[in-house]
Amino acid sequence: MYKYIGKRFIFSLLTIFVLITAVFVLVRLLPGDPFQDPRLTEESRQQLLEYHGLDKSIPEQYVLYLQNVILEGDLGYSLRYSGRTVNDMISDAYPVSVDLGIRSMIFAVTGGLLLGILAAIFHNRKIDHFGMIIAVIGISVPNFIVGAVIQYFFGVHLRWFPVAGWETFAATLLPSFALGLYVLAVVARLMRGNMLEIVGQDYIKTALSKGLSPVEIVLRHQLKNALIPVITILGPVAARVLAGTFVVEQIFNIPGLGRHFVVSIQNLDYTLTLGLTLFFGAFVVAINFLVDLSYGIVDPRIRVEK
User: Comparing C-alpha atoms, which of 249, 202, 245 is closest to residue 221?
Assistant: 202
What is the arithmetic mean of pLDDT over 253-260? Answer: 80
User: In this structure, is residue 277 part of a structural domain?
Assistant: no
The rounded distance, in Å, linking the Cα atoms of 153 and 137 is 17
> Using CA atoms, how far apart are residues 87 and 172, in angstroms rounded to an integer?
26
Q: Say if 11 falls within a structural domain.
A: no
Inside any domain, residue 194: yes
Structural domain range at position 203: 99-256
What is the DSSP secondary structure assignment for residue 210, as one 8-state letter?
T
Average pLDDT, the chain: 77
Q: At what angle do helices 223-251 and 143-150 cross, to 10 degrees?
A: 70
Whether 278 maps to a domain, the answer reads no
Q: What is the pLDDT of residues 179-229, one digit of tens each?
A: 888 888 888 888 888 777 766 666 666 666 666 666 666 666 666 667 767
Total domains in the fold of the chain: 1
CA dihedral 31, 35, 36, 37 (to 10 degrees): 150
User: 219, 185, 214: which is closest to 122 by C-alpha?
Assistant: 214
pLDDT at 219: 64
Q: 120 in a domain, yes or no?
A: yes
Q: Are 287 and 239 in contact (CB under 8 A)?
A: yes
306 has a pLDDT exceeding 50: no
Residue 24 scores a pLDDT above 50: yes
Asked whether residue 238 is assigned to any structural domain, the reply reads yes
Q: Looking at residue 294, what is its pLDDT? A: 67
Answer yes or no: is 242 within a domain: yes
Domain-embedded: residue 288: no
How far, in Å, are 170, 208, 230 from residue 203 at the CA level?
Answer: 46, 9, 21
Q: CB count, 10 Å around CB of 182?
A: 24
Can you give the CATH number for the domain in which 169 is found?
1.10.3720.10
Question: Distance between CA 47 and CA 113 in Å, rounded?
Answer: 57
Beta strands in the chain (DSSP E): none
pLDDT tens digits, one per residue of 38-90: 666 677 767 777 776 777 777 888 888 888 888 777 787 887 777 788 888 88
Separation of first and last alpha carbons in the chain: 7
